[in-house]
Amino acid sequence: MDALAPPEPFRALLLFFLGSCIGSFLNVCITRLPAGESILVPASHCRSCKEPLPLRANLPLISYLLLRARCVLCGARIPVRYFLVELGAAVAALACHQRVGAGPRLGVHLSFVCALVAAAVIDLETGIIPDAISVYGMAAAFALSWCAPALAIADFPSPGGSLLGALCGGGVLLATAAGYRAATGRDGLGGGDVKLLAMIGSFAGWERVPGILAVSALAGSVCGIGLACVRKDVSLRTPLPFAPFLCLGALLWLY
């Protein structure tokens, strides 16, 4: 079968299911990382009643629908984000397979996409980007750059390219933040955004950083202007989470 051909029905169903399981784990990371909690222990539990969840409440996508977005134990409402992240990861698994085929490349691309999803959602909900995603992601990308030839991942940056991508991504945003601070006296970008673009650059390579940043800035500007036009409580000076736009720029530019 052609590596870039659409997967056969059974393989597509398996990819979709595995992707939804990855999305379920992403929800754990999104919920626990900002709180400084372990993503491994304790087992899945309701955030309201703190009780461990039974198996029937842990089925990706299905449990949310069958339980009508309510905790099976206490009836507390489950945020729709849980369902959307699981669905998004499932679709991402199919999309990454369509883009790069099976094998190690699929694992690398899907891991990168899932890291972007987690960073975007966490920034939207909390206004922070955990180092567990950006800093550890950079370390993983640099380590992978040495292993990529042995794994036949031809489109991954070399060790030098990965390092230069991180320096270019982080450096451009750091300079932008410093310039904005000097010109306005206000902070325009946080350190989390700087580290996130450095992580993106380490995966994408320095050549793609300008395009990713341009798409991100354009998307953020359009969104900010649109919100300012339709909402009275939002102005052009209202700070917006930038990670979702960086992640969107990375996905659009890379894929």
What is the reported pLDDT for 6?
Answer: 56
Question: Model confidence over 70-88: pLDDT tens digits?
Answer: 998 899 999 999 999 999 9
Q: Are 51 and 65 in contact (CB under 8 A)?
A: no
What is the reported pLDDT for 236?
Answer: 66
What is the reported pLDDT for 191?
Answer: 85
Tokens 């987690």 correspond to 118
How large is the average pLDDT for residues 39-44? 87
3-state secondary structure of 53: coil
Q: Does 26 score more than 80 pLDDT?
A: yes
Confidence of residue 1 (pLDDT cuts 50, 70, 90): very low
What is the reported pLDDT for 14?
Answer: 92
Q: Are 250 and 119 in contact (CB under 8 A)?
A: no
Q: How far apart are CA 136 and CA 5, in angstroms?
A: 33
Which alpha helices (DSSP H) does the chain contain, by range?
9-32, 62-66, 80-100, 104-126, 131-147, 159-184, 191-204, 209-230, 243-254
Confidence of residue 221 (pLDDT cuts 50, 70, 90): confident
How large is the average pLDDT for residues 87-94? 95
Question: So where are the chain's domains?
Answer: 1-102, 129-255
How large is the average pLDDT for residues 125-129? 92
Poorest-confidence range of 6-10, 112-116, 141-145? 6-10
- The letter for the amino acid at 179 is G
Q: Does 5 score more than 80 pLDDT?
A: no
Q: Which of 142, 120, 108 is nearest to 246 (CA)?
A: 120
Q: What are phi and psi of 128, to 5 degrees?
A: -130, 160
